Amino acid sequence: MSTVFDFAAYPVLTTDRLRLRRIEHEDADAIIDLYGSPDVMRFLSQPIIQTREQAVGLIDWLNALYDRHEAVQWAMTLHGDDRLIGTCGTYAWDRENRRVDIGYHVVPALWGRGYATEAARAITRWSFDHLDVHRVQADCTDGNIGSERVLLKCGFKIEGVWRESCWEHGRFVDIKQFGVLRREFE
């Protein structure tokens, strides 16, 4: 086992095409583009981000989770272009049971190019290497085929469906649960 991440310095991850870095106030307009998109918000229950003030509030909230050692949320950027094209990260780190959840979102104009898969692989690898977890898990609303494909490409297995377990957009929805164990990912 490696040393567990101590949150002393914000991790920056690089992949073939992406650089994952801390989300900053300068990303507010890109956050509005991402979380103000009806296509992105279709499968999320959080409020739509429409103003700079709301965007900065979300950025501050995400960074506060990091400061409290609860989560790591990255801005997804392309090499050579520091503009945020999406977000990804960990949350619900359960140290006792050695598991963590991950999530990812990409602006719709860049869907279908593999960026979410590349980011999900990177944060899954980082979680196994730095959080001393036995499993990484993720869930998505039933019908979110794009997110399901990302998880399956990353080696996650579908583990079940939580029937009508979340209230999204005025209705109850089913949530599909996925997971990957350290030995399966390696």
Per the prediction, the chain carries an average pLDDT of: 96
Least confident piece of the model among 40-49, 53-62, 98-107, 111-120? 40-49
Judge contact between 148 and 140, C-beta under 8 A.
yes
b/e map 52-62, b = 16+ CB within 10 Å: eebbbebbeeb
Per residue in 27-85, pLDDT (tens digit) is 999 999 999 999 999 999 888 999 999 999 999 999 999 999 999 999 999 999 999 99
Any bridge partners for residue 177, and if so which? Answer: 139, 160
**Token pair listed for 105:** 């979102």
Mean pLDDT score, 7-28: 97
Which amino acid is located at 96 in the chain?
Answer: E
> How far, in Å, CA of 172 to CA of 142, rounded?
11
Per residue in 141-164, pLDDT (tens digit) is 999 999 999 999 999 999 999 999
Task: Give the per-residue pLDDT at 186.
Answer: 82
Going by C-alpha positions, the residue among 65, 97, 69 that lies closest to residue 6 is: 69
b/e map 95-132, b = 16+ CB within 10 Å: eeeebbbbbbbbbeeeeeebbbbbbbbbbbbbbbebbb
Mean pLDDT score, 5-23: 97
- Assess whether pLDDT exceeds 60 at residue 17: yes
Residues 6+ apart with CB under 8 A from 12: 19, 20, 21, 22
Any bridge partners for residue 168, and if so which? Answer: 171
Residue that the structure tokens 């507010």 belong to: 28
Instruction: Specify the pTM.
Output: 0.94
pLDDT band at residue 2 using 50, 70 and 90 as cut-offs: low
Domains and their CATH numbers in the chain: 13-185 (3.40.630.30)
